[in-house]
């Protein structure tokens, strides 16, 4: 982590921890001594921390630039998923520990309980559904848009939990400080949710970009070029970053928001994304036309060679459409005449799947950067004379030569391919600190 962003990352983590534990802190200050016993108090503490985590989930998922910048949105959302599981475990143990601590098992088994207890039970069941759908979305074959619609029940979860805690918890009925804190947590949720779901989408729609071109790269890969509205500048970005685009095309085509890598160079005026047909939505990219409206939100991510600076020996190992962030970096290196030596190992199934082949050859023909391109095919034709089969230690060692302990590696591609590359690099003695990577799934 670079020095210039380390202090901001540490500060954000401290603030996050304080907010998550704020209920526990206020309860300890307001009511330091209780006669409920350790197990009962532990169950109560788990609930206070769990509800703090859930409140901050709305902030983590709101795509706030100032919050994600030190970490990258992909890392932030993976943390968001992990914390959802932790919150569920804490809140699941809450009634169990209360029962063990003296409340009795009828707290869990008795159906004839007041409405506020049922609010807590409902919140827990909905949270279980939320965690299950998020963790098993792909095995369940749940489409992204349908999953996101169901994911919006998070607002209902926090509402049920807030009412349950406010009515049931003895701290809330006794101590003014806890009541104020509860209002603050609810306000955080409302503000983050309203900004993410209402305020920012309306602003993006008012200042929507326009599609200026649609170009076919291969049989199933398309590049969409976009420009901001008249009088507004395109947002600045680093090569390798990604953005969210929401196409509003009409003509019966779906209007969905998805994240795609920015494939253009930040030095130019054009903003492009290069998209492979790999799902229901991406198969509708080809009918996109110049003039179509598109809301653009970005940039995000930290997968960029410019964040380190000073690296002059680079190896890019990519698979399929994973070439897109690397292409943005190479275009930027070409446009800025970067003094760097770069090796691109580009893995595809067939020659017809190679994206940007001619432009890569043009960059390699130049002197800055000094680029060598090696295409590796897993399903080569009989006329193919280049590298074939999957990436392994032997192939990487032969193509890369001896590691000089200063070389930086960038990896992007399908999951199995990336795992093979990581294993091979580890066998070659490359430390994790010199390997950067990007996963397209958030």
So what's the architecture of 3-205 in CATH?
Up-down Bundle (1.20)
**What is the predicted pLDDT for the residue at 136?**
84
- Per the CB < 8 A criterion, the answer to whether 273 and 303 are in contact is no
**What is the predicted pLDDT for the residue at 151?**
85
Determine if residue 119 is left, alpha or beta; phi over 0 gives left, psi from -120 to 50 gives alpha, anything else beta: alpha
**What is the predicted pLDDT for the residue at 1?**
45
The pLDDT averaged over each successive group of 10 residues in the chain (442 residues) is: 72 96 89 78 93 95 94 92 94 94 89 92 92 84 80 87 83 77 92 95 95 96 96 94 95 92 93 93 94 96 88 94 97 95 97 97 95 96 92 94 88 94 94 90 62
Q: Give the strand order in the sheet containing 242-248.
A: 257-261, 242-248, 293-300, 209-218, 221-227, 271-276
Residue with tokens 């200063």: 406
**What is the predicted pLDDT for the residue at 442?**
58
**Distant-in-sequence, close-in-space partners of 176: CB < 8 Å, separation ≥ 6:** none
So what's the architecture of 308-438 in CATH?
3-Layer(aba) Sandwich (3.40)
CATH 2.60.120.10 is held by the domain 209-300: no
Give DSSP secondary structure letters for 23-60. Answer: HHHHHHHH----SS-HHHHHHHHHHHHHHHHHHHHHHH
**What is the predicted pLDDT for the residue at 173?**
64
**What is the predicted pLDDT for the residue at 4?**
52
Write down the domain spans for the chain. 3-205, 209-300, 308-438
Burial of 422 (0-12, 13-18, 19+ CB in 10 A): middle
């Amino acid at each position: 982590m670079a020095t210039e962003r380390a202090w901001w990352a540490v500060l954000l983590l401290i603030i996050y921890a304080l907010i998550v534990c704020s209920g526990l802190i206020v309860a300890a200050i307001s009511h330091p001594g209780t006669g409920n016993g350790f197990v009962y108090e532990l169950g109560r503490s788990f609930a206070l921390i769990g509800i703090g985590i859930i409140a901050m989930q709305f902030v983590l998922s709101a795509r706030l630039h100032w919050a994600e910048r030190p970490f990258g949105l992909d890392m932030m959302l993976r943390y968001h998923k992990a914390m959802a599981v932790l919150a569920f475990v804490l809140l699941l143990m809450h009634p169990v520990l209360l029962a063990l601590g003296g409340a009795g098992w009828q707290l869990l088994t008795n159906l004839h309980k007041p409405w506020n207890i049922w609010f807590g039970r409902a919140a827990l069941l909905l949270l279980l559904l939320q965690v299950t759908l998020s963790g098993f979305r792909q095995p369940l074959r749940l489409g992204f848009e349908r999953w996101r619609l169901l994911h919006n029940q998070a607002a209902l979860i926090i509402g049920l939990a807030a009412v349950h805690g406010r009515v049931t918890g003895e701290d809330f009925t006794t101590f003014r400080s806890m009541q104020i804190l509860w209002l603050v947590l609810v306000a955080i949720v409302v503000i983050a949710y309203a900004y993410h779901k209402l305020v920012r989408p309306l602003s993006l729609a008012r200042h929507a970009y326009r599609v200026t071109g649609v170009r076919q790269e291969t049989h199933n890969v398309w590049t969409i070029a976009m420009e901001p509205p008249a009088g507004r500048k395109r947002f600045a970005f680093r090569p390798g970053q990604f953005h969210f685009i929401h196409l509003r095309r009409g003509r019966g085509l779906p209007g969905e928001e998805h994240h795609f890598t920015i494939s253009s160079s930040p030095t130019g005026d054009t903003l492009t994304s290069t998209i492979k047909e790999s799902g229901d939505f991406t198969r509708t990219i080809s009918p996109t036309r110049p003039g179509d409206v598109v809301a653009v939100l970005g940039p995000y991510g930290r997968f960029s060679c410019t964040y380190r600076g000073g690296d002059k020996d680079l190896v890019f190992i990519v698979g399929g459409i994973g070439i897109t962030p690397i292409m943005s970096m190479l275009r930027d290196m070409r446009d800025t005449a970067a003094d760097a030596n770069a090796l691109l190992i580009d893995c595809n199934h067939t020659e017809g799947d190679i994206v940007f082949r001619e432009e890569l050859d043009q960059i390699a023909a130049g002197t800055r950067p000094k680029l060598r391109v090696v295409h590796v095919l897993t399903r080569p034709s009989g006329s193919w004379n280049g590298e074939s089969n999957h990436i392994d230690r032997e192939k990487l060692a032969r193509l890369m030569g001896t590691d000089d302990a200063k070389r930086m590696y960038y990896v992007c591609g399908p999951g199995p391919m990336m795992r093979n590359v990581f294993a091979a690099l580890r066998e070659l003695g490359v430390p994790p600190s010199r390997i950067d990577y990007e996963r397209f799934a958030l």
